[in-house]
Every structure is written in C-alpha cells, then in structure tokens.
Structure 1
Amino acid sequence: MPFFPTRRLLNELVNRAIVYSHNGDPSKVLTAFSYRPLPPPSPNTVNVKFVLAPINPADLNVIEGVYPAKPTPISYPASSGLGSDNSVFVGGNEGLAQVTEVGQGVSGLEKNDWVIMTKPQIGTWCTTKNVGAEDILKVPQMDGLSEVQAATMTVNPPTAYNMLQEFVSLNEGDWVVQNGANSAVWSLLSLNLRKSCNFASQVGQAVIQIAASRGLKTLNFVRPRDNLEELVNELQNLGATKVLTYDALADKSLRKDLKEWTGGKEIRLGLNCVGGQETTLMARLLGNDAHLVSYGAMSKQPLSLPTSLFIFKNLTSHGFWQSRWYSQKSRDEQKRLMDLLANLMSQGMLKAPSHEVISISAKESDEEAGRKVREVIAKTTGGQHGKKVLLKFSID
C-alpha cells in the first residue's frame, strides 16, 4: 500500500514533499505530505527553496528500486507528526534551488543565490530543504540563462560534454557518431523502451549542440518514424551534420557515403545509449584507435562487439556514468564544468529542452498533490508526454 501521511494542517504546514516509503511503480507508490518551515541552518549547511525540479527516467528507476544509486531515507517526525519510526524517501535527483538562509562556516554563498545539487539522490521534489554546502554548487547568474536551463544542467549536458571531452582529443572538423541522437534518456536501467524514448532528457541533442559549438561534426542515428523529416530538420537546426535512421546501417553504400562526407577522415569517437544490433553495426563505422562510450541501454539488449574491432582496429570500449564523475572530481572541477555549460546556455549554444512545468499549488491538499504527480508520471511513462516534465511547488 502507498504511504499516506496525516492530513495537511493548513496555515501551519507550508512545505511539501513528494515521497515514497517503499519501492514500486512510481505512478502508484508516490504520495505527498506537508511539513512545517525549516529551522535555521546548522553550521556548514544552507536552507534552500526549490525553483524547479525535473522528473528524469533515472528518478523513476530509483523509485522502482532498479537503479544502482540508492537514496537515504529521511524522517520528518518534528514537522509531520508521523512519529519517530516513520521515514520516507524524497523523490528527485536534479533541480534548481534558491538559497534562503546560510549557516555559520559557509563561504561563497549568499541569500537568493541559485544553486544546483551535486550529491546524488538528494531528494529535489520538495519545496524546501536543508543541504550541506559541499553538496551544492552556485549557478553563475548570466543574462540569457533561464530557470529551466539551470534546473536541467546537472545530468544531461555534463554527460554530453564529458563524453566528448574525456576519451578522445578531438579537433575542429573531427567527426563523432552516436545513436539515440534525439535521445530522450541517459538512464541505464529504464524498464521499457517506450518510457525511455518519451522523456526529453536529450543527451543526444546536447551532444549535437556542444559538438557544434566546438566545430565538431556529428553523424546521428535515430529510429525510423512517420515524422522523420520533421525530426531531421529539428536536429539539423541544433547543429547536426548528418541524420540517418538505423535502417541505413545495413545499407552497403553507407561506407562509401561516409568516406565522402568525412573526406576520408576516420571517426574516433562513438556514443551509445541503445545497445543491441544497431550499436554493433554503428561500431563498424569507427576507425582505428577509436573509442566507443556507452551511457545507456534503451533497447535492453546486450552490447555485442566483434572481436575483430579490438584486434585489428584497436577499439576501446568504455562505460560512462555522470554520478561517478561527480564522485571522482573536485569541487573546482565541477564548478568549472558548470560555469562552462552555463556560458554555453546563456549564449544560446545549448538550448533548454522542450518542456512542460507542472505546478503544485499550496492550496491543493496532499491527496490532490500526490494524485497530480502520479497521474503525470503515468502519462509520461505511457508515452503521452513527449516533453521534459518539471515540478514547481508553491508555498504561498
């Protein structure tokens, strides 16, 4: 049974969180409860108010209990009246927040600063939170940087940037090949393809835009579809060089065309979020000493690569997980990356994903708020939402 906390006490409890007490179908186990204002922050922490919090595929995998990263349960006995034995998990990994209070010992942060979360599974689907100063990064205030861009800059844009940066030294004019080029998802363990393909996380689109900003050229593969021409135009407007369907991978003329497009230059970086036969065929397009980087498995099929690619072409295959990158890098390195991405966004070189904001009003009861979130997730996983969904909570 879903976890249903006590009735919200209007005019007293002004904050709200979307939570679950056990793993399961997110459209069934999620609920909402309200809690009193936060106390002043303890030393080395800050209180924040969330501005926008995306719903990502990996968030749902976490709720389902099939994702490698696990959240920490949180108790709200003093604020919810639920008793000391009641603890819940707050949904959400990514989001934009605004600092409301700064604790002693915290430097570099002030009230009203924008911040993003760098601690995995910190729980962003709520109105307010007390967080450690080491678990957040200040977002540089730049003209042209929107709330949506800032709220979605923690996962997908850095995934795209790091895959382009960390495995092969690429120069202007070099080529990159990727599948899932309109990819809706970076999640490793999404439970079905439809779910994966209808989230607008857009790692593939971020790859196209970041590559274009560096003068790199991209060969992009997508699933066949009725609106293919529309999709091709969309990706080319973002900076894609060539866009083909997976059917082209079986066409013997592709290699000849590719040699003409690249001027004979070998492709040394391939990005994979699909797996299966499509990736096997794509890997054959890579040149000598190339690197294939996998960050997802939307087909749910294993990655199968011919031994000849390793023996005769010296192929190297990697896996990439942005959460691991955060755990291995210093705060200075994290900050440099976020500043770089914010600059690209402010200059219009990295656009906000197509999105829809779902507002959770303070006037709604906990039952109504929980039902609204469950219904949105059910529609999203059912393919009825083709846009990235962000939650916006009101405490007024």
Structure 2
Amino acid sequence: MSIRKRTWTNGKGEEKTAWVVDYADGKGTRRLKTFAKKKDADQFAATAKVEVREGSHVADNASVTVKAAGAFWIATGEQDGLERSSIDQRKRHLQLHIEPFIGQTLLSHFTVPGAREFADKLRENGRSPAMVRKVMGSLASIFSDAQERGLATRNPVKDLRGARRRGKERQADKRQKSRLKIGVDIPTREEIKAIVGAATGRWRPLLISAIFTGMRSSELRGLRWQDVDFERAQISVHQRADDYGEIGRPKSEAGERTIPVPPMVVNALREWKLACPRRPTGDIDAAGNPVKELHYVFPTGSGNIESRSNMTKRGFLPTQVMAGVTVPSDERDDAGEVVLVGKYGGMHALRHFYASWSINRPQDGGLGLPPKVIQERLGHSSIMMTMDVYGHLFPRGDDADEMAAAERSLLG
C-alpha cells in the first residue's frame, strides 16, 4: 500500500494536486482512491490496511447503493419462496421508508452513526416507533444479504447500541412485549359468552370455530369440508389462504395438525353445511346448469375464498357491538353521541382466548392442557414460541390452594 502525490494541469492552465492511495484489496485487485488532502489519504490508508488484513474491506467501486442492495434483498426473498405478502412488505419498506432517505448511499459509506441518523429521520418524518423498528429490521436484513454477496463487510444496523444487547436482555424484552393481558388483548370468559350469544347468520359458525379451535384466520379461510370430521369431532389443518386468496401450506410444518372440537362447534358446522354456498366446478349438467360443489367451509356468497377484512369488518367487529363488547371511538353520530366499536380489532384475539382457555385449570373453566399439547393445538413451530407468548398465563405451582394441599400432604 502506498500514498503518492499527483500533480496535473487542468484545461485553464491551473496546476492541481491530489493524493492517491494505491493498494490491493482482499482479493488482490488493485485499487486507487484519490483525496484532496494528505491527512485524509493517510487516514484511509491506515484503516484500509487493517480492513484488508482482517478481510473486511470493500472498495467503493465494488460496493453498491442501498437501493441496489435492497433490490438484491427482494430477489433473494423471491428465490427463497417467501409469501407474496412478505415480498410486498419488503418492497413497501424499501420504496416508502428507506430509498427516500438513504437510497443513493453506498453500503461502504454507511456507518453506525449513519444508521442512528436514519432512525432519527424516520421518527422526525412521522413514522411510528413500531414502524421504525420494522424498517430498521429490514435495513439490517438488507446489509446481511449484501454481506453474503460480498458487497458489504459490516452491518451498521446490528452494531447499534440497542441491537448489541445480550441475548438474555433481548429475550426478556420480547417476553415483556408479548405479555398479553386478559380483557385487553385476550377476551374474558364473559365477553366470549356474549359474543357467542350475539353471533348470528353466516358469522356464527365462523366465530364459534375460531373461539374453540384457535385456528388462524388464514387457516379458517382455507378450511375445506373434507377437513372436518363430524364423527370424530375434529378438524384437520392442511392448508391456508394468504391475503391474496392463494392456497398454500400452513405457516410451518407444525401448522399441519388435527384439533379436537367441542359439541358446539360440531353442531354449528352441521347446521351451517346445509346453507353453505357452493362454488362452481366449471362443469355443466344435463339441463345446462352450472355444477356446484361444497368446498370451503367459510366462503364468500359465490363459494370462493373469503377475505380477511370481510371476516373482521362484517363479522367479528359488528358481532362485538351487538354483544356489548365495545370501546368508545373518536367518532360521533348525528346526535353527537360517541360511537362504540368492537373492543378487539382482529380475530387473532380469539386465537389468544383459545390459548388461555386451553391453559386455564378445569376448576377455572379451562382445559388444563400441558404446554406441549397447547403448542401442537396452536400449530406453533416450537415450544419456546408458545411459552414466550403465553407462559405467564400458566397457573403457578405455589398458589395458595396448591401450597395448602402440599402442606397437608407433607405433614399429614
């Protein structure tokens, strides 16, 4: 590695001077980098020498912009078979939040202070704390993909102080954020009773099934009648429908499962099957009429896959209002009264209830199932996921009644 002074005369006859760092990168390729001041050249040479020795140096002309790296990142997701919704989320994060601020920045020029400044810009421009976290996570993923391609040597986002915390601290934060509360995130037993009592029409079998199976809304949308076993009182999950109405496998291998159901679900589905819309098969019968078949359990009026928003906005939310499970909104009606809306914004709240019902002791009106069985019923990929989200709901072994029983057993 050498530093030399370069002198030349421009078109106006003026003498110009620059300092050139001449070196070979980690792959042995000769690189030249020019500086106006010798101290800048000396500083770069010292840094590059260490980086080349450590195998962490990437020259500017071997790097790419954040925008180009983001395009590679999206292509990687498509090659890995990510769901369409995940790819679309990557595109939104890149186009709406990353490119406007740092899209033209070279990866080799992006530093830890730059990552901190970018996060601050997101906040200053109206991004919510949750959105900032998600976008910073996407940016970290872009740098990880670029590292694998040899376009970057460091991941400045992961080097931020908040991202460098120990694993135990991150897990503790994760558990704290995931600590669901009864009556806030999870409907109470009284609220579930009211919802079941208020549910009518095509939404009744859907909501009852969601409450007593814990199935994800995507799994309910993709459920077929052939997956419902009335004789054995169980439902098998073999597929799901994404937000675009495309059928695919469950979210994980553990998502393919069989769930026993109570008589209320069996009876509601038996009754619903008689009125369930059928979908066209594409065939015509002898009279020239289209042949239709029972296929999806909770379809649209034409027998096709129902949308997630319809299930929530036309089914779950209005049923909560009829059941009195409401909270005040920011809107007022024509009479000036505050408009009440459904308390729980999405059907995932019913999945949370199913988990809590499975955890609760029989004397408290629950099933009292062990964690491993609950994991299997919910279709979680690992027991850690189940315990991280619902571990705080399990009854403590040192509750007063249990302590008294243990004392009697020990002392006779």
TM above 0.5, yes or no, is no
Work out which structure has the larger RCO, using CA pairs closer than 8 Å and 6 or more positions apart in sequence.
1
Larger radius of gyration: 2
> Normalising by structure 1, what TM-score?
0.29
Q: Which structure has greater helix proportion?
A: 2
